Chains A and B, each alone.
Chain A
Amino acid sequence: MSARPVALSILLVFVAVVIQTTLFGAGRIQPLGAAPMLVLAVVVACVRYLDPEPALLLGFTAGLLVDLLGGSPLGLWAMVHVVIAYLTLRLRHRADEAVPLVGFGIFLLALLAQALFLVTSTLFGQSLLTTSGLVKQLVITALYTVIAAAGVVPAVSRLLRDRSVRTWARR
């Protein structure tokens, strides 16, 4: 596999992190008190076109960036993004299925990512489970992530499809 898709994926993750930390959130765009997980959507979209090892490392890097620019202990989002990248790797052969099914898959991945973060952050002494309206926030964030993915996935596909030597589709 050439290095270009990997480099492009890293660049896309950087752009997603910048957009996430400047455009989405309280005071910017945050309808109903939640914002999409744009970085996660980009990781899911990129993993489709990468080999397993670079895909997992991309997830780890993306998560670590989220950790570094957020307020939680380092490593928690990195772990979450790695797990989501791994699950996407396992499921990517089904990415050609009906759009609603893919959307539902991304919804479940976004829910799982948040749940995993909550559990691990609780293990590390972060009292996030006391957040009011937690379930509502989890569901709305997952829905927004699906909406964001609807824009991100085709754009990433267009960018990476031709540049990746071995894609999930050719396997």
Chain B
Amino acid sequence: MLPFRRFERSTVLLVGLVMLSFLIATFDVRADGAGMGAMLRTGAQSLFAPVQQLATAVARPIAGFIDGVSNIAGLRDELAVARSENDALRQQLLDVQAMQNRLTELERILDLEPPTDVATVTARIASLAPSDFDQVRWIDRGIADGIAVGQAVIDEDGLVGRIDFVAENSARVRLITDPRSGVGVRDLGTNETGWIEGRGAGPLELKMFGTTKPVQQGERLVTDGTRFPPGIPVGVVAEPAEAVAGFALITTVTPSIQLAELDYVKVVVGWSPLDAVIDPDTGELVDVPLGPVTVE
């Protein structure tokens, strides 16, 4: 007779729980985060969100203190860099003001409506991901505030990510640094479009297909307007690259946002990809009813 007792109860339970885990994961992936998974996540959020918000209020000063102590040595260097950047930015501001004046004049001549800003909802990062592999953040705004899946999340530096799950009073933001994130971008240097993917805590990866122009270090990349509102800064090319015939141009990009400094963000609720007008012949974005997003 087969010694059934040879298999301990704990081993049988282990096999059962592992199988159950795989089953749950399969259902969740197939349902694309909806259905039972969404219900459980909403329940967990209702349970944890109030406690997390309370804990965050306590944790922020502690984390800030530790961060401040650990960064104190680098502050002097940072100050010097900031001062030189400040000088350069002051000059750029003067240039921009001059350009703004010219733009206003041209709009008046062409009888164009000035671009309007899109509606946004300000939110605060309520909690972080429980694992380093999850490049997500939870914000303290949800369905009740008009947040919906797919909306862009921005801060004063640029694109933070997109909403990929929403509960009544909270929502999950999948950051652009997540390997499962992808953003269509336009290189302001060459005007070519490409695709950016996250690579965790490291730099982003830019892929450009069918391009003939090389990209240079320091060129700015903004959203191309196909999935998110156009013109939101995404990053800066970190390494120059050019496409080898038949292959995509691939290089690294430094994200515009400072992940470690994320606190308040804005969710762009007043824009949908349907607002983008695509030329059916060229596939290019030819006109956008709403102007570039400006962050106050």
Contacts and interface: CB of A to CB of B under 8 A. Distances in A.
Contacts of A18: 48, 51-52, 55
Interface in B48-106: 48, 51-52, 55-56, 58-60, 62-63, 66-67, 70
B130 A134 contact: no
A133 B138 CA distance: 25
Interface string A37-77: 10100000000000011011101100101101111111111
A31 interface: yes
Chain A contact-residue range equals: 35 or more
A154 interface: no
A125 B29 CA distance: 9
Given A26-B260, A29-B63, A74-B40, A69 B178 contact: no
A27 B132 contact: no
- If over half of A's interface residues share one DSSP class (helix, strand or loop), that class is named, otherwise mixed; here it is helix
A159 B212 CA distance: 66
A6 to B, nearest CB: 15
A103 to B, nearest CB: 20
Given A70-B136, A71-B178, A82-B21, A52 B63 contact: no
B149 interface: no
A114 B21 CA distance: 16
A163 B200 CA distance: 42
Given A26-B201, A137-B201, A20 B40 contact: no
A70 B201 contact: no
B292 interface: no
Nearest to B200: A131
A74 B25 contact: yes
A78 B24 contact: yes
Interface of A: 17-31, 33-35, 37, 39, 52-53, 55-57, 59-60, 63, 65-66, 68-79, 82-83, 86, 89, 114, 117-118, 120-121, 124-128, 130-134, 137, 141
14 contacts: A18-B48, A21-B128, A21-B138, A22-B52, A22-B56, A23-B62, A26-B201, A28-B67, A52-B13, A60-B20, A65-B130, A70-B131, A75-B24, A132-B203
Interface of B: 8-11, 13-14, 17-18, 20-29, 33, 37, 40-41, 44-45, 48, 51-52, 55-56, 58-60, 62-63, 66-67, 70, 125, 127-136, 138, 164, 172, 174, 178-180, 197, 199-203, 205, 259-263
